[in-house]
Structure 1
Amino acid sequence: MTAAQQQDLQTQRRLQQDSIQLAGKTIYINPFLYWRRFDSNTDRWLREPGQLSEEQIQQNRSRFYPELEWALLDERDQEVKDGAVEMFLKSLELISTFHPELTSGQILEVERKMAITKKRSFERWVEKSYRRRSREETKKKRRFARNRFLQGWGEWIALDTTHQALVPIVALLVLSAVLGWSYGSSQSSCPTLVPPQQQTGVR
């Protein structure tokens, strides 16, 4: 099998996981395959966790994770799986919007296949989203701290009392520099005494 054939086979397998055949139509269960039909608000709504209410997510936990004991999960795992539940709900809403002809039974088939094939994918996506958000928040905090530091220095320098305190300090520094330069110049202008050479000879 050639490399091109292997790539085609992988694409077909991925497409099988990302779609389902219903009434002779191919329905994508990967929500990102609808991105060409998104506007910017829908794209942001899909990609950013935390767009649905906490109550709505908690009510649907057992719907997509019937095997889990949520009370036994640590905070991080619970956060990731809640994000995956949110992705399930968003995906089903998008599919219903783009395929209004689907019956409730067909939507249930979509949901079942999605729960089997997309669970881990959604969890990985949520983990990446949280890491990206954490990095962005860290950058914002550093930028804010840097701007606040510079602003504080600027405000301090602009104070009249600061000017009054800095003037004698600057004058002292200038005077010290002038005195140091003058002393160095006087030292370099003094002649250097060279002792006379002793005459040597053989008597």
Structure 2
Amino acid sequence: MTVATQPDPQLQRRLQQDSIQLGAKTIFLNPFLYWRRFDANTDRWLREPGQLPEEQIQANRSRFYPELLWDELSDQERQLKDGAVEMFLKTLELISTFNPDLSAGHLLEVERKMAVTKKRSFERWVEKALGRRLKGERRERRRFDRERWLRGWGEWLGLDTTRQALLPLTTLLVLSALAGSWLGSRQFCRPGLVQPGIERNL
């Protein structure tokens, strides 16, 4: 006896958003579904924002965001939207590469569905990628500042004038430590005074 497995509605909805059926062929709209087919350089190119020329991204802003007034966006919003435009362009390039038989009409259908279903997911991906980059830059900056601080101290301690200035201070500290140790040992070895007992007359 076999039990029919009911399809997961959420999974079905995601598959519909991540693909488009063109005749008998299924085209993936999610670029990461092609990851088995590209190398490490392509993976890095896809995942890292800022890989496409800024002029190319600006020229395609209205293509994917015709409703936006770009001059009214904040710098953070503009960076996020530009990153999403870059993801659109990269995804279309991957689709064209792995599906070279698609016609111009098919590519237009793909682009239209992507603009509807993938816009928000691309924006979320870019937001996370920019956040990871910012954390990495901060971590690298802290490491650089720490190394520069240690290098500065090392160079300062290596100067002849520094050694000449520190020598009397070091000598004084050593003598103070020895004197303190000697005084402490003298205090420890000094016999205590014992008060004689008082005899009581009975």
Alignment of 1:20-99 (within 5 A): 20-99=20-99
CA offset at residue 201 of structure 1?
4.1
**Aligned match of 1:119:** 119
Alignment of 1:122-137 (within 5 A): 122-137=122-137
Deviation sequence 1:150-176 (CA, Å, 0-9, x none): 111111122222222222222111111
Distance 2:22 2:15 in 1: 15
Assess, with a 3 A threshold, how the Cα gap between structure 1 residues 184 and 6 changes in structure 2: closer, same or farther. farther
CA offset at residue 12 of structure 1?
2.3
What amino acid is the match of 1:121? S
Bigger mean CA offset, 191-200 vs 101-110: 191-200
What amino acid is the match of 1:119? K
**Aligned match of 1:14:** 14
Distance 1:188 1:67 in 2: 87
Deviation sequence 1:62-82 (CA, Å, 0-9, x none): 111111111221111111011
Unaligned runs of 5+ in 1: none
What amino acid is the match of 1:92? L
Unaligned runs of 5+ in 2: none
CA offset at residue 104 of structure 1?
0.3
- TM-score by structure 1 length? 0.93
Distance 1:133 1:116 in 2: 27
| 1:158 equivalent in alignment to 2:158 | yes
Deviation sequence 1:125-178 (CA, Å, 0-9, x none): 000011000000000000000000111111112222222222222211111111
**Aligned match of 1:177:** 177
- TM-score by structure 2 length? 0.93
Assess, with a 3 A threshold, how the Cα gap between structure 1 residues 150 and 196 changes in structure 2: closer, same or farther. same
Q: How many residues align?
A: 199
**Aligned match of 1:187:** 187
Deviation sequence 1:22-42 (CA, Å, 0-9, x none): 121000011110001111111
CA RMSD of aligned residues (A): 1.6
What amino acid is the match of 1:174? V
CA offset at residue 184 of structure 1?
1.2
CA offset at residue 95 of structure 1?
0.4
Assess, with a 3 A threshold, how the Cα gap between structure 1 residues 5 and 74 changes in structure 2: closer, same or farther. farther
What amino acid is the match of 1:39? D
Distance 1:139 1:5 in 2: 48
Give the 3-state SS of the residue equivalent to 1:20 in structure 2.
strand
**Aligned match of 1:148:** 148
Bigger mean CA offset, 12-21 vs 122-131: 12-21
Give the 3-state SS of the residue equivalent to 1:114 in structure 2.
helix
Bigger mean CA offset, 122-131 vs 46-55: 46-55
